[in-house]
Amino acid sequence: MNETPEKLENQSSRGSARRRAMMDAAWQILLDKGFSGVTLNDVISQSGGSRTTLYEAFGGKDGLLAAVMTERCMAFSAELHISLESDLPPRDALTDFATKLAKRILSEEAIRFTKILFTEGHNFIPLVDKFMKTGPDNTRARLARYLQRQHGLGHIVIDNPEHYAEMFESMVTGGWQKQMLKLVKPPQYTDAEIHQRVTRVVDIFLCGVASPTYRNDVSTSTP
C-alpha cells in the first residue's frame, strides 16, 4: 500500500528531530569530554536514537562530528559576515565585525572548544581541517573580500587583501586566545574592555591602510 503524503511528512519530521537530537548530544559530549570522549553509545543514550539511524544519517562518529562542527561554524560565522556584506565604511564595519568576533571567541563555549582543538586536534586532523575551512578560513576570506572592495572604492590602500585580513584578525584575537589556553579559569572581560581593545585595533589598522581621501572624509565628518 502506498504511503500518504502526510505519513511521509511525519516520517521526515521524526527523522529530522532524531538527527537534531543526535547532533545536540554529540556537541555537548564533545565540549565535556573532547573528541576522544565522544562515543556512539553516549550519543544514542542521550539522544534517544538508534545506532541504525545514526549510521544512516551520518555514516558513523566522524561523519556526525563533521556535521556538528560544520553547523556550529556556520552559526558562529553567520553574524560576523553581516558586517562584511554591508556597505558600511571601514571604521564602522571593522568595529562591528571585531566586536562580534571578540565576544564570540571569549564565550565559554568557544573557549572550551578552542582548548579541545589545541590539546587533541593533532589526532583528528581531517575534522580540524574541516573546522578551519568552514569557520576561521571562511571568515578570513570574507574579510579579505571586504577589504578588497574598500580598496576598490578608494577607502583603503592595500596590496594583499588576504594578508591584511589575517593581520587584522590576529590583532583582535591573538593575545586573548593565548591567554584563554593558558588559564584554567579564564577572566571575564566587560563590554567596555572589549570596546576599548577593538577601538584601538581599528585605529591602528586604519592608521596604516586608510587612504588620504578617507582620512579627510572621516576628519571632516567628526564633530
Residue extents of the structural domains in the chain: 1-59, 72-221
In angstroms, the CA 111 to CA 3 distance is: 48
Beta bridge partners of 210: 156
Name the fold adopted by 72-221.
Answer: Tetracycline Repressor; domain 2 (1.10.357)
Q: Grid coordinates representing 138?
A: 571562511
State residue 6's pLDDT score: 53
123 touches 35 (CB < 8 A): yes
Say how far apart CA 147 and CA 90 lie, in whole Å: 8
Q: Residue 100: what pLDDT?
A: 93
Separation between Cα atoms, residue 63 and residue 55, nearest integer Å: 9
Buried residues in 191-208 as b, exposed as e (16+ CB within 10 A) = eeebeebbeebbeebbee
Q: What averages of pLDDT result for each successive group of 10 residues across the chain (223 residues)?
A: 50 77 95 94 92 92 92 84 86 95 88 86 88 88 95 95 96 76 71 94 95 75 52
Q: Which CATH number fits domain 1-59: 2.60.40, 3.40.1000, 3.30.1490, 1.10.10?
A: 1.10.10
